[in-house]
Structure 1
């Protein structure tokens, strides 16, 4: 899982999605887990269909958030049982106190074990509904 990601509703079904601007028109790449009409198998259990974004009845921007040592974080990416988390608290002193790595001004990250985080949840923000 990499974050952030998208979801799109097309033909009454919600799909994991990603935007595609090829050709100057916004399209959505829809990813399914089972064969379906018009979807191409791109890997075992992974199917793809690209549709115009205008044909999607809803599109959401999705992030995964959590808490680590009582502070708020965004899950940036995962690797096995480890998460790369990014501090969203906005307090440089707290970030330093947590031992986070500063990757650029105001951005602090750290790899942690999945079992060390609490309150992990997805936040879906409508891009278009």
Structure 2
């Protein structure tokens, strides 16, 4: 499973990690490709007019754990790093979540306990 979080653009029939920049969109690849410039050995970018982009969406990987909605931030050895989206401190306390920042609660959850993993696009 790959937890996607961020902008993604469809350009010329292919989906890329993306970053909107006004009238332009930066498209990213992990390796070299025609028309892309190396930023680092593992990051290549191409800037295209926003009007050429077929779709631009912000994608979040979501799930349900112990009856509450979470964003999936990552995965490691059968555990998911999740962030509570409800923002209610009493609920976060009841679930035993760690306070990551003011009003931001996270946890490591066993993958087997997590349900309804899905991508939401806006």
TM-score scaled by length of structure 1: 0.73
Q: Report the Cα distance in structure 1 between the residues aligned to 2:24 and 2:75, rounded to whole angstroms.
A: 28
Q: Distance in 2 between matches of 1:118 and 1:7?
A: 24
Residue by residue over 1:65-122, the C-alpha shift from the partner in whole angstroms, topping out at 9 and shown as x without a partner, is 0000111101122224221100112221111000000111111000112221001100
Q: Is the 8 A contact 1:16 1:32 kept in 2?
A: no
1:75-90 map, 5 Å: 75-90=72-87
Structure-2 residue corresponding to 1:62: 59
In the alignment, does 2:15 pair up with 1:18?
Answer: no
Aligned length, in residue pairs = 118
Taking the aligned partners of 1:53 and 1:112, their CA distance within structure 2 comes to 41
After TM superposition, the structure 1 stretch with the greater mean CA deviation from structure 2, 63-72 or 52-61, is: 52-61
CA distance in 2 between counterparts of 1:69 and 1:119 reads 11
- Which residue in 2 is equivalent to 1:97? 94
Q: Unpaired segments of 5 or more residues in structure 1?
A: none
* 1:121 pairs with 2:118: yes
What residue is the counterpart of 2:5 in the other structure?
Answer: 4
Q: Which runs of 5+ in 2 are unaligned?
A: none
Q: Runs ≥4 in structure 1, deviation > 6 angstroms?
A: none
Distance 2:60 2:37 in 1: 26
In 1, distance between residues paired with 2:49 and 2:75?
28
Q: Find the counterpart in structure 2 of residue 71 from structure 1.
A: 68
